[in-house]
Amino acid sequence: MRFLYGLFPFVAAITGAVATSDADEWWFGDSLFYLGPPSSGINITKATYSILPPSVPCGYTVSNPDDEIWVAVWVGASSTAGSDYANLYQPVFDWSPNQESQGCPASETEWCVAASTYTPSGQIGQPYVTVPQGTTVDFEIAVVGDNVVQTVTMGGKVISNQTEALDSGLQYLYSSNECYTGSGSCGTIDGYTISNLTVTLSSADEKFASVMGLYDVTASSFTSADGGITWHADYINTTVVDFDDSAEVSQ
Protein backbone atom coordinates (compact mmCIF):
# COMPACT_ATOMS: atom_id res chain seq x y z
CA MET A 1 0.00 0.00 0.00
CA ARG A 2 3.05 2.08 -0.32
CA PHE A 3 3.62 3.36 -3.78
CA LEU A 4 5.50 1.37 -6.43
CA TYR A 5 8.96 2.77 -5.87
CA GLY A 6 11.30 2.21 -8.76
CA LEU A 7 8.98 -0.04 -10.69
CA PHE A 8 10.00 1.65 -13.91
CA PRO A 9 12.95 3.88 -14.62
CA PHE A 10 10.74 6.92 -15.11
CA VAL A 11 9.10 6.28 -11.76
CA ALA A 12 12.49 5.90 -10.07
CA ALA A 13 13.59 9.14 -11.63
CA ILE A 14 10.64 10.94 -10.10
CA THR A 15 10.73 9.35 -6.68
CA GLY A 16 14.48 9.03 -6.08
CA ALA A 17 16.43 6.41 -4.20
CA VAL A 18 15.13 3.90 -1.67
CA ALA A 19 16.97 2.83 1.46
CA THR A 20 17.58 -0.90 1.55
CA SER A 21 18.11 -3.40 4.34
CA ASP A 22 17.52 -7.12 4.73
CA ALA A 23 14.11 -6.82 6.32
CA ASP A 24 11.34 -4.23 6.33
CA GLU A 25 11.44 -3.95 2.58
CA TRP A 26 8.68 -3.48 0.04
CA TRP A 27 8.70 -5.63 -3.08
CA PHE A 28 6.36 -5.38 -6.04
CA GLY A 29 5.67 -8.40 -8.25
CA ASP A 30 6.46 -7.68 -11.89
CA SER A 31 3.15 -9.01 -13.26
CA LEU A 32 0.83 -6.07 -13.74
CA PHE A 33 -0.88 -3.60 -16.04
CA TYR A 34 -0.03 0.09 -16.10
CA LEU A 35 -2.41 2.41 -17.95
CA GLY A 36 -1.95 6.11 -18.68
CA PRO A 37 -1.74 8.98 -19.18
CA PRO A 38 -4.54 9.86 -21.62
CA SER A 39 -3.94 12.53 -24.26
CA SER A 40 -3.39 16.03 -22.94
CA GLY A 41 -6.30 17.66 -21.13
CA ILE A 42 -8.19 14.38 -20.61
CA ASN A 43 -8.69 12.70 -17.22
CA ILE A 44 -9.78 9.26 -16.11
CA THR A 45 -13.19 9.72 -14.49
CA LYS A 46 -14.17 6.15 -13.64
CA ALA A 47 -12.79 2.63 -13.47
CA THR A 48 -14.77 -0.51 -12.74
CA TYR A 49 -13.34 -4.02 -12.56
CA SER A 50 -13.64 -7.33 -10.75
CA ILE A 51 -10.92 -9.36 -9.09
CA LEU A 52 -10.93 -13.00 -8.09
CA PRO A 53 -8.03 -13.00 -5.63
CA PRO A 54 -5.50 -15.83 -5.81
CA SER A 55 -4.93 -18.37 -3.06
CA VAL A 56 -3.14 -16.70 -0.17
CA PRO A 57 0.67 -16.71 -0.47
CA CYS A 58 2.66 -19.87 0.24
CA GLY A 59 6.31 -20.40 1.12
CA TYR A 60 6.52 -17.30 3.27
CA THR A 61 8.60 -16.98 6.45
CA VAL A 62 8.26 -14.89 9.61
CA SER A 63 11.05 -14.77 12.16
CA ASN A 64 9.51 -12.29 14.59
CA PRO A 65 5.71 -12.41 15.05
CA ASP A 66 5.86 -8.81 16.27
CA ASP A 67 7.17 -7.75 12.87
CA GLU A 68 4.75 -9.46 10.49
CA ILE A 69 4.94 -9.74 6.73
CA TRP A 70 1.92 -8.73 4.68
CA VAL A 71 0.92 -9.02 1.05
CA ALA A 72 -1.49 -6.72 -0.78
CA VAL A 73 -3.13 -6.96 -4.20
CA TRP A 74 -4.74 -3.87 -5.67
CA VAL A 75 -5.66 -1.71 -8.62
CA GLY A 76 -5.23 1.99 -7.94
CA ALA A 77 -5.75 5.35 -9.62
CA SER A 78 -3.60 8.45 -9.24
CA SER A 79 -2.86 11.82 -10.81
CA THR A 80 0.84 10.98 -11.16
CA ALA A 81 2.98 8.10 -12.35
CA GLY A 82 4.57 7.67 -8.98
CA SER A 83 4.88 10.68 -6.77
CA ASP A 84 4.78 10.15 -3.01
CA TYR A 85 3.07 13.51 -2.89
CA ALA A 86 -0.12 12.48 -4.68
CA ASN A 87 -3.08 10.42 -3.54
CA LEU A 88 -3.40 6.84 -4.75
CA TYR A 89 -7.00 5.63 -4.59
CA GLN A 90 -6.44 1.93 -4.08
CA PRO A 91 -9.14 -0.39 -2.75
CA VAL A 92 -7.00 -3.26 -1.53
CA PHE A 93 -6.88 -6.98 -0.75
CA ASP A 94 -4.63 -7.64 2.21
CA TRP A 95 -3.29 -10.81 3.83
CA SER A 96 -0.85 -11.61 6.63
CA PRO A 97 0.01 -14.85 8.43
CA ASN A 98 -1.23 -12.96 11.49
CA GLN A 99 -4.38 -11.36 10.13
CA GLU A 100 -5.09 -9.69 13.46
CA SER A 101 -1.91 -7.66 13.08
CA GLN A 102 -3.56 -6.04 10.04
CA GLY A 103 -6.99 -5.64 11.59
CA CYS A 104 -8.30 -8.34 9.26
CA PRO A 105 -10.98 -10.68 10.65
CA ALA A 106 -10.35 -13.42 8.05
CA SER A 107 -8.80 -16.84 8.62
CA GLU A 108 -5.22 -17.46 7.50
CA THR A 109 -6.44 -18.92 4.18
CA GLU A 110 -8.58 -15.94 3.17
CA TRP A 111 -7.98 -12.35 2.06
CA CYS A 112 -9.45 -9.21 3.50
CA VAL A 113 -10.59 -6.30 1.36
CA ALA A 114 -11.35 -2.62 1.99
CA ALA A 115 -11.62 0.74 0.31
CA SER A 116 -8.36 2.57 0.99
CA THR A 117 -6.34 5.59 -0.12
CA TYR A 118 -2.64 6.28 0.11
CA THR A 119 -2.22 9.97 0.90
CA PRO A 120 1.04 11.88 1.45
CA SER A 121 0.12 12.14 5.14
CA GLY A 122 -0.68 8.44 5.55
CA GLN A 123 -2.96 5.60 4.51
CA ILE A 124 -6.70 6.15 5.06
CA GLY A 125 -8.63 2.91 4.93
CA GLN A 126 -11.93 1.38 5.96
CA PRO A 127 -12.18 -1.66 8.25
CA TYR A 128 -11.19 -4.88 6.50
CA VAL A 129 -13.89 -7.32 5.44
CA THR A 130 -13.30 -11.06 4.94
CA VAL A 131 -13.39 -12.38 1.36
CA PRO A 132 -14.51 -16.02 1.42
CA GLN A 133 -12.33 -18.25 -0.80
CA GLY A 134 -13.34 -18.27 -4.46
CA THR A 135 -15.28 -14.99 -4.21
CA THR A 136 -15.00 -12.40 -6.97
CA VAL A 137 -15.08 -8.83 -5.67
CA ASP A 138 -16.32 -5.89 -7.76
CA PHE A 139 -14.71 -2.45 -7.55
CA GLU A 140 -15.54 1.06 -8.67
CA ILE A 141 -13.29 4.11 -8.43
CA ALA A 142 -15.27 7.13 -9.62
CA VAL A 143 -14.73 10.85 -9.72
CA VAL A 144 -17.92 12.49 -8.45
CA GLY A 145 -17.67 16.27 -8.40
CA ASP A 146 -14.52 17.14 -6.46
CA ASN A 147 -14.34 13.71 -4.81
CA VAL A 148 -13.22 10.19 -5.55
CA VAL A 149 -15.69 7.56 -4.43
CA GLN A 150 -14.50 3.97 -3.98
CA THR A 151 -17.13 1.26 -3.81
CA VAL A 152 -16.34 -2.38 -3.06
CA THR A 153 -19.12 -4.87 -3.73
CA MET A 154 -19.36 -8.58 -2.97
CA GLY A 155 -22.31 -10.69 -4.08
CA GLY A 156 -24.21 -7.57 -5.12
CA LYS A 157 -23.83 -5.91 -1.71
CA VAL A 158 -21.63 -2.89 -0.95
CA ILE A 159 -19.22 -4.09 1.74
CA SER A 160 -16.83 -1.12 1.86
CA ASN A 161 -16.82 2.41 0.51
CA GLN A 162 -14.88 5.59 0.99
CA THR A 163 -15.01 9.14 -0.34
CA GLU A 164 -12.06 11.49 -0.47
CA ALA A 165 -11.23 14.77 -2.15
CA LEU A 166 -9.74 14.43 -5.62
CA ASP A 167 -6.28 15.99 -5.32
CA SER A 168 -5.78 16.37 -9.07
CA GLY A 169 -7.24 14.84 -12.27
CA LEU A 170 -6.64 11.07 -12.47
CA GLN A 171 -4.08 10.13 -15.13
CA TYR A 172 -2.98 6.59 -14.27
CA LEU A 173 -4.58 3.28 -13.33
CA TYR A 174 -2.43 0.28 -12.50
CA SER A 175 -2.34 -3.00 -10.66
CA SER A 176 0.17 -4.26 -8.14
CA ASN A 177 1.17 -7.26 -6.05
CA GLU A 178 2.89 -5.83 -3.02
CA CYS A 179 4.99 -7.53 -0.34
CA TYR A 180 6.12 -6.01 2.92
CA THR A 181 8.85 -8.29 4.24
CA GLY A 182 8.65 -7.38 7.92
CA SER A 183 10.93 -9.86 9.68
CA GLY A 184 10.63 -12.51 6.96
CA SER A 185 9.75 -13.06 3.31
CA CYS A 186 6.49 -13.23 1.39
CA GLY A 187 7.00 -16.43 -0.63
CA THR A 188 4.94 -16.97 -3.75
CA ILE A 189 1.60 -15.61 -4.92
CA ASP A 190 -0.40 -17.26 -7.72
CA GLY A 191 -1.61 -15.41 -10.76
CA TYR A 192 -5.13 -14.00 -10.60
CA THR A 193 -7.70 -12.46 -12.89
CA ILE A 194 -8.72 -8.83 -13.15
CA SER A 195 -11.87 -9.00 -15.26
CA ASN A 196 -14.42 -6.74 -16.89
CA LEU A 197 -12.17 -3.68 -16.70
CA THR A 198 -13.96 -0.55 -17.92
CA VAL A 199 -12.26 2.84 -17.87
CA THR A 200 -14.16 6.06 -18.64
CA LEU A 201 -12.44 9.27 -19.76
CA SER A 202 -13.58 12.90 -19.49
CA SER A 203 -13.60 13.07 -23.29
CA ALA A 204 -12.70 10.86 -26.25
CA ASP A 205 -9.10 9.73 -26.64
CA GLU A 206 -8.70 7.49 -29.67
CA LYS A 207 -5.09 6.72 -28.71
CA PHE A 208 -5.73 5.55 -25.15
CA ALA A 209 -4.96 1.89 -25.96
CA SER A 210 -1.39 2.92 -26.82
CA VAL A 211 -0.71 3.80 -23.19
CA MET A 212 -1.89 0.42 -21.85
CA GLY A 213 1.28 -1.27 -20.59
CA LEU A 214 1.12 -5.03 -19.99
CA TYR A 215 3.95 -6.59 -17.99
CA ASP A 216 4.05 -10.38 -17.76
CA VAL A 217 0.27 -10.74 -17.98
CA THR A 218 -2.08 -12.37 -20.48
CA ALA A 219 -4.78 -9.90 -21.47
CA SER A 220 -7.63 -9.51 -23.91
CA SER A 221 -7.63 -6.47 -26.17
CA PHE A 222 -8.32 -3.01 -24.71
CA THR A 223 -10.87 -1.37 -26.97
CA SER A 224 -13.47 1.35 -27.16
CA ALA A 225 -16.85 1.00 -28.83
CA ASP A 226 -17.82 4.67 -28.49
CA GLY A 227 -14.96 6.48 -30.22
CA GLY A 228 -12.61 6.59 -27.24
CA ILE A 229 -14.59 7.69 -24.18
CA THR A 230 -15.19 4.27 -22.63
CA TRP A 231 -12.51 1.56 -22.80
CA HIS A 232 -12.86 -2.10 -21.96
CA ALA A 233 -10.80 -5.25 -21.45
CA ASP A 234 -12.50 -8.55 -20.69
CA TYR A 235 -9.62 -9.83 -18.62
CA ILE A 236 -6.04 -9.29 -17.49
CA ASN A 237 -4.55 -12.47 -16.07
CA THR A 238 -1.46 -11.99 -13.95
CA THR A 239 1.13 -14.72 -13.53
CA VAL A 240 2.64 -16.36 -10.48
CA VAL A 241 5.15 -14.15 -8.65
CA ASP A 242 7.92 -15.39 -6.37
CA PHE A 243 8.54 -12.41 -4.10
CA ASP A 244 11.86 -13.95 -3.06
CA ASP A 245 13.21 -14.10 -6.63
CA SER A 246 14.81 -10.80 -7.58
CA ALA A 247 14.04 -11.50 -11.26
CA GLU A 248 10.30 -11.36 -10.52
CA VAL A 249 10.08 -8.27 -8.33
CA SER A 250 10.97 -4.60 -8.20
CA GLN A 251 11.61 -2.59 -5.10
Ligand X SMILES: *[C@@H]1O[C@H](CO)[C@@H](O)[C@H](O)[C@H]1NC(C)=O
By CB under 6 A, name the binding residues for ligand X: 43, 48, 149, 158, 161-163, 168-169, 193, 196, 198, 202, 218, 235, 237
Whole-angstrom Cα Rg for the chain:
17
The distance of closest approach from Cβ of residue 50 to ligand X in the complex, given in angstroms and rounded to an integer, is: 6
Q: Which is nearer to ligand X, 102 or 163 (CB)?
A: 163
The whole-angstrom separation of Cα 141 and Cα 161 is: 10
The distance of closest approach from Cβ of residue 48 to ligand X in the complex, given in angstroms and rounded to an integer, is: 4
The whole-angstrom separation of Cα 199 and Cα 68 is: 35
Q: Which is nearer to ligand X, 7 or 241 (CB)?
A: 241
The distance of closest approach from Cβ of residue 165 to ligand X in the complex, given in angstroms and rounded to an integer, is: 11
Q: Which is nearer to ligand X, 23 or 211 (CB)?
A: 211
Q: Which is nearer to ligand X, 230 or 251 (CB)?
A: 230
Tally the C-alpha atoms within 13 A of residue 247's C-alpha that lie toward its C-beta: 1
The distance of closest approach from Cβ of residue 69 to ligand X in the complex, given in angstroms and rounded to an integer, is: 26
- The residues near 110 (Cβ < 8 Å, ≥ 6 apart) are 56, 95, 130, 131, 132, 133
Residue closest to ligand X when measured from CB atoms:
169
Q: For residue 9, say if its preceding peptide bond is cis, omega within 30 degrees of 0.
A: no
